[in-house]
């Protein structure tokens, strides 16, 4: 397989075309951003760690019958994925009150929700990724009602699987953000990544934050937290 030109570079990854139109190469970066890109920095070895964590989780999701773009891990910080056109929605599932939900709901951080909350954000950097609902999504022709319904059901399945995996690692999945894409047959499948960049993870015993909130809030020991998540996953999934 031959790697062709750079197709897209985002905040955390680069995507390259290959000589197979159905396959992309994704390269994970050490760059870190927060607050819609207002805060920038680097987390040492983040690209390697997130590539490995995402590879583990995508493979587990495949075994659970959840279709996703993962093909194989190519190197420490690269994976091969099915070519998809990303749907411009961030799909967030919240299991515990944290982050912006504290202010929006007036609830104390750490409050366990009786049922998961699904939120959609329109992926548009210029607009600051605003929150949208079904009506916005349909009006913008991002997805139709049947597709929205599928995405909601699928993201709850993903949440259940990933939450159990992390609990086996003595980590609580507070919330997660995922993205979906359409393949060449217009089928919607899970894409992007699942990592401490896109999940809030708290130590089950201590509630210590083990995710990008350590970077957002200047808590320190960011790389160590990411390394701990990877080590626990490797121990459970080996």
Other residues' Cβ atoms within 10 Å of the Cβ of residue 96: 20
Query: Which two structure tokens, joined as six digits, stand for 52?
Result: 């490995």
Which domain range does residue 164 map to? 85-221
Residues of the chain with pLDDT below 70 are 37, 238
Question: In terms of pTM, does the model score above 0.85?
Answer: yes
d(CA 152, CA 14): 27
Which residue, of 33, 64, 82, is where some domain finishes? Answer: 82
Residue 107 is predicted with a pLDDT of 95
Examine residue 177 and state whether it is found in any structural domain, yes or no: yes
Looking up residue 177, the CATH number of its domain turns out to be 3.30.470.20
For tokens 């091969």, name the residue. Answer: 80
Examine residue 227 and state whether it is found in any structural domain, yes or no: no
pLDDT digits (tens, 9 = 90+) for 48-107: 999 999 999 999 999 999 999 999 999 999 999 999 999 999 999 999 999 999 999 999
Mark whether 90 and 185 lie in a shared domain.
yes
Could you tell me which of 123, 114, 122, 118 has the C-alpha nearest to residue 93?
118
Mark whether 125 and 69 lie in a shared domain.
no
Examine residue 97 and state whether it is found in any structural domain, yes or no: yes
Examine residue 230 and state whether it is found in any structural domain, yes or no: no
For tokens 């993903």, name the residue. Answer: 158
> How many domains, in total, are found in the chain?
2
Rg (CA), the chain: 17
The partner residues of 117 in beta bridges, in order of sequence, read: 94
Residue 238 is predicted with a pLDDT of 65
């Amino acid at each position: 397989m031959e790697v062709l030109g750079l197709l897209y570079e985002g905040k955390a990854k680069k995507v390259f075309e290959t000589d197979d139109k159905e396959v992309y190469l994704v390269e994970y970066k050490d760059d870190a951003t927060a607050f819609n890109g207002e805060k920038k920095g680097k987390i040492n070895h983040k690209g390697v760690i997130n590539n490995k964590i995402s590879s583990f989780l995508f493979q587990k999701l495949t075994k659970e019958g959840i279709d996703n773009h993962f093909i194989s891990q190519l190197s420490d910080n690269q994976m091969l994925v099915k070519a998809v056109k990303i749907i411009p929605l961030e799909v967030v599932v919240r299991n515990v009150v944290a982050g912006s939900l504290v202010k929006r709901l007036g609830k104390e951080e750490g409050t366990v929700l009786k049922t998961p909350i699904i939120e959609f954000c329109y992926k548009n950097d210029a607009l600051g990724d605003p929150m949208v609902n079904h009506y916005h999504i349909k009006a913008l022709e991002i997805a139709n009602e049947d597709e929205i319904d599928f995405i909601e059901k699928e993201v709850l399945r993903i949440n259940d699987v990933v939450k159990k995996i992390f609990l086996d690692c003595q980590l609580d999945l507070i919330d997660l953000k995922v993205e979906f894409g359409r393949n060449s047959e217009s089928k919607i499948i899970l894409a992007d990544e699942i990592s401490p960049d896109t999940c809030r993870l708290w130590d089950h015993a201590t509630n210590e934050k083990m995710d990008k909130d350590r970077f957002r809030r200047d808590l320190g020991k960011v790389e160590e937290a990411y390394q701990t998540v990877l080590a626990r996953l490797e121990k459970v999934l080996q």
